[in-house]
Amino acid sequence: MSGLRKSWMEFRTHASILIIAWRSYRNPLVAIEALQKLIVLRRKVLGDHRIMKVAYVDSRCYWDLYAPGLGSPAFKKYIESELNRLQPIPRLHNNEIHYQFTNIFVSITNRCHLQCEHCFEGDVLNTGEHQTPQKFAVKIDALKGLGTSLIHFTGGEPMLRPAEMLRLMTKSDKIDYWILTSGYNFTSKHAGELKSRGLTGVLVSLDHFEKSDHENFRKTAHSYDWAIQAVHNAVAVRLVVALSVCVTRSLATEENLMKYARLARFLGVSFVQLLEPMQAGNYRNRDVGLSRDQLDLLERFYIRMNTCKEFLSFPIFTYHGYHQRRVGCFGSGDRNIYLDTHGNLQACPFCQTHNKSNETDQSVDEQLIELRRTGCPLHAPSADPAS
């Protein structure tokens, strides 16, 4: 959506945020001060660039891959959380942890049939399940109580446990649910069942526009077809659909990125997530980082795809590296957290350092306090895009 329709939805979004701020503070001066701080934060994250389009799926608007859709019960919770972080809301400020989360990533299995080159769980993949469904439910319920807006099921391959996800999801939670999948087993039947239970969107990993290159990267035959079919199945039931791509050195050229973007537009997805190779999992201790020129290219590409009129018909692009180099990482118990298959909380899927192999005796609150204290050493703010 772009042009006048987008402007109207933008007005509705701003009006909704204004109403939420007024109801939160009951003081117009304090509400305005909080909104001004929110604008400053947005500019720090996105710069002075204005995204020229919005995704419109199943009667809701989505401005960001990791924010709830306008009009959803999770949207109010999300805005309250950000306002409370910048200007404490009286009814919430006595609780140090409440309303601090946006996204929780839950690894519900370490099983997977693929052998992906970059897998961040490569060292624990297929080593056996460590949490019973009951224990997972207890941990997730505790995290839900901390004000989260979105829960993302990941793995391993979460579609090996569709029944488990159906049990853990409920529309009454006022939470948007997502699945991060290779596409394996994301059948039309499962797509419909999950949608009816409360699934909002699906993030499908597609690491190349060429079938042979994707399957070589994933080291699995048919993995390209699984990903493409998963996209079709998700679009058919009106889920928000995103593609995720690890931009390797060989892929990081203007020509390749444009070919990928054209495929994403053809498939009808709403978002594309650009990930940089990181020294985690199967990439640990390997020289996989992008050059400064390639990082500059990714940043320019990200800005162009979201702000230039010639790309209004393309998906919205998400690039975490852009804001990480400017305001730091949103993980480490700040806005995002990762619950691993042992039931432990980690800074994020890529930065796992805390009790990785054994379930901790610490409570959720104790783990969060420790993570916030230590932070994420890999993503401190920097003015240098290559640092």
Mean pLDDT of the chain: 85
d(CA 176, CA 154): 14
d(CA 384, CA 387): 5
Residue 381 belongs to some domain of the structure? no
d(CA 136, CA 151): 13
Number of structural domains the chain divides into: 2
- Kindly tell me if the per-residue pLDDT of 371 is higher than 60: yes
- pTM comes to 0.89
Q: What is the reported pLDDT for 377?
A: 52
Question: ∠ at Cα 113 (315, 347), nearest 5°?
Answer: 60
Residue 55 belongs to some domain of the structure? yes
Helix H or strand E encompassing 160: none
pLDDT 10s digits, 27-59: 999 999 999 999 888 887 777 777 889 999 998
Residue 155 in contact with residue 349, Cβ under 8 Å? no
Residues 250, 142 share a domain: yes
Residues 113, 15 share a domain: no
pLDDT 10s digits, 102-134: 888 998 888 888 888 888 776 776 677 767 777
Residue 385 belongs to some domain of the structure? no
Residues 282, 241 share a domain: yes
Name the 3-class secondary structure at 35.
Answer: helix
The arithmetic mean of pLDDT across residues 236-248, rounded, is 97
Q: What is the reported pLDDT for 311?
A: 95
Residues 118, 30 share a domain: no
Domain enclosing residue 36, as ranges: 3-76
Residue 60 belongs to some domain of the structure? yes
The arithmetic mean of pLDDT across residues 340-366, rounded, is 70
Residue 140 in contact with residue 168, Cβ under 8 Å? yes
Residues 233, 174 share a domain: yes
pLDDT tier, 358 (very low <50, low <70, confident <90, very high otherwise):
low
Residues 41, 157 share a domain: no
Q: What is the reported pLDDT for 57?
A: 94
Alpha carbon separation from 302 to 53, 154, 273, 312, 319 (Å, rounded): 13, 25, 10, 13, 7
Alpha helix ranges (H) inside 277-355: 292-307, 320-327
Last residue of a domain, one of 76, 94, 129: 76
Q: What is the reported pLDDT for 257?
A: 98
Residue type, 266: F
Residue 15 belongs to some domain of the structure? yes
Residue 384 belongs to some domain of the structure? no
Q: What is the reported pLDDT for 328?
A: 72
Place of tokens 């059948």: 187
Residue 338 in contact with residue 349, Cβ under 8 Å? yes
CATH code of the domain covering residue 283:
3.20.20.70
Residue 86 belongs to some domain of the structure? no
